[in-house]
Amino acid sequence: MSAVKRAQQWATFARTWHIFDCKWQDPYESANVIKKYLMGLHKPIYHPMNDCGDVVVCINSREIALRGDEWRQRAYFHHTGYPGGATWTLAWELHNKDPTMIIKKAVYRAMKGNLQRRHTMERLFIYPGEVIPEEVKQNITNQIRQIRLVPTRLDHIPEEEVQKYPKVMDYPEDYVLK
């Protein structure tokens, strides 16, 4: 095996570490993207019996965005196993308790339920904020593109830029501005 081929072999089977910024991302949409990288579906050498999945590091999981009224509509079910042990926790209650849980459960649900799933989940790291451990940060070599654009708040745009922006609506002549 030549040196080039050996490097190619190493590069093919090495685990890549990806980072994903969850800020203003829908966890259920982004779970389908994260799943591909975790399982290695984006690689041409993919095979279910081939351990070629990558590692994904999710940051800012506290800043995820749910659509419409899903924060109070979506319920997470848990049963302790005892009679009357069923609980339904709303999404915002769960997010209050553990800001990493929603994205974790979303990725877990996006994958097919087989014996490999729990081992694949071990390769997913979720952090509620931007701070990640140094030993994790050193490995990261790739960033997964965000699905949704992060919206800009009006008060974060400079005042002169708001004034200079092209206008579509003009006031009537006798309008008294409030």
Sites of contact with other proteins (CB under 8 A):
24, 26, 63-68, 70-72, 90-92, 95, 148-149, 151-155, 157, 162-178
Q: Which is nearer to other proteins, 4 or 169 (CB)?
A: 169
CB of 94 to other proteins, least distance (A): 11
Nearest residue to 35 (alpha-carbon basis) of 27, 24, 44 = 27
Gyration radius from the chain CA atoms: 22
Alpha-carbon distance of 114 to 76, in angstroms, equals 21
CB–CB of 21/145 below 8 Å?
Answer: no
CB of 136 to other proteins, least distance (A): 24
Q: Which is nearer to other proteins, 134 or 161 (CB)?
A: 161
Q: Which is nearer to other proteins, 115 or 131 (CB)?
A: 131
Contacts of residue 9, defined as CB under 8 A and 6 or more positions apart, other chains included, come to 1
> Beta strands 55-59 and 17-21: pairing type?
parallel
CB of 14 to other proteins, least distance (A): 35
CB of 79 to other proteins, least distance (A): 24
Alpha-carbon distance of 47 to 156, in angstroms, equals 47
Q: Which is nearer to other proteins, 104 or 117 (CB)?
A: 104
CB of 178 to other proteins, least distance (A): 5
User: Apex CA 153: angle with CA 150 and CA 159, to 5°?
Assistant: 135
Q: Which is nearer to other proteins, 134 or 174 (CB)?
A: 174
What is the Cβ-side half-sphere exposure of residue 175, based on CA atoms within 13 angstroms?
7
